[in-house]
Amino acid sequence: MTTYVLAAIAGLLTGAGLIIAIGPQNVFVLRQGVARAHVVPVVVVCAISDVVLIVAGVAGLGALVAAHPGVVTIAKILGGGYVIALGLLAARRCVRSSDAIVANAHEASTVSRWAAVGMALALTWLNPHVYLDTVLTMGAIANSHGNAKWAFAIGACLASLLWFATLGSGATKLSRFFASPRSWRLLDAVVAVVMLAMGAVLIASV
């Protein structure tokens, strides 16, 4: 039981670290939330898309590992290296970045429901980084947990569901937080610590 709980916690932390970053998808969800425009369909599309990609990564890489056991070593090294690189980028943003999110509520309120859904789909599925984050990296880390890989996947999926639900429903209050570069630097510092730790653990397990 402890193994599965630890795997789920690792999935939750890793998922949060990969998802929480200034990016077009998060900016879009935040803007829709501030405008109270089509929040539910946008959040549902983003969250379900992440869940599908995470499950596909865990299952697909799992099948590959089952057929070629040696692949898991390569996956761990590549996945660990990628996660460490993300951690270093987050650390760099923490030190240098002055970025912040400006939520334009008027712009978001003029978008139709189907246009908002289409934009959410495009920002998710047409972003090449999402496949590195969810399919390759999540798949590699999940499969490093052996029989507890689906507990890891559940934790990662929960991180996505919680993040987008919080971002959409609490956008008005959160927009004040995200508008501050200092707040983003603090968040990036936490992400950097989590990513560097996860990457190191993954490579050390080879």
> What is the identity of the amino acid at 156?
A
136 contacts 53 by C-beta, under 8 angstroms = no
pLDDT digits (tens, 9 = 90+) for 116-147: 888 889 888 887 777 777 777 888 888 778 88
Of the candidates 40, 78, 27, 29, the residue with the CA atom closest to the CA atom of residue 57: 78
- With contact defined as beta carbons under 8 Å apart, do 15 and 158 qualify? yes
Segment (H or E) for 70: none
Within 10 angstroms of residue 198's Cβ, the number of other Cβ atoms is 23
Quote the pLDDT of residue 62. Answer: 64
Query: What average pLDDT does the chain have?
Result: 80
SS3 content of the chain, % helix, strand, coil (to 5): 85, 0, 15
R_g of the chain, CA atoms, integer Å: 17
pLDDT of residue 183: 75
To 5 degrees, how large is the angle CA 178–CA 124–CA 165? 50
Closest by CA to 69, choosing from 80, 77, 61, is 61
Look up the pTM and report it.
Answer: 0.75
Query: What was the pLDDT predicted at 154?
Result: 94
Tens digit of each residue's pLDDT, the chain (206 residues): 688 888 899 889 888 888 876 667 877 887 788 777 888 999 999 999 999 989 988 887 766 766 666 666 777 787 778 778 878 887 887 777 666 555 555 555 566 888 888 888 988 888 777 777 777 788 888 877 888 889 999 999 999 999 998 888 887 677 677 667 777 777 778 778 877 887 787 788 77
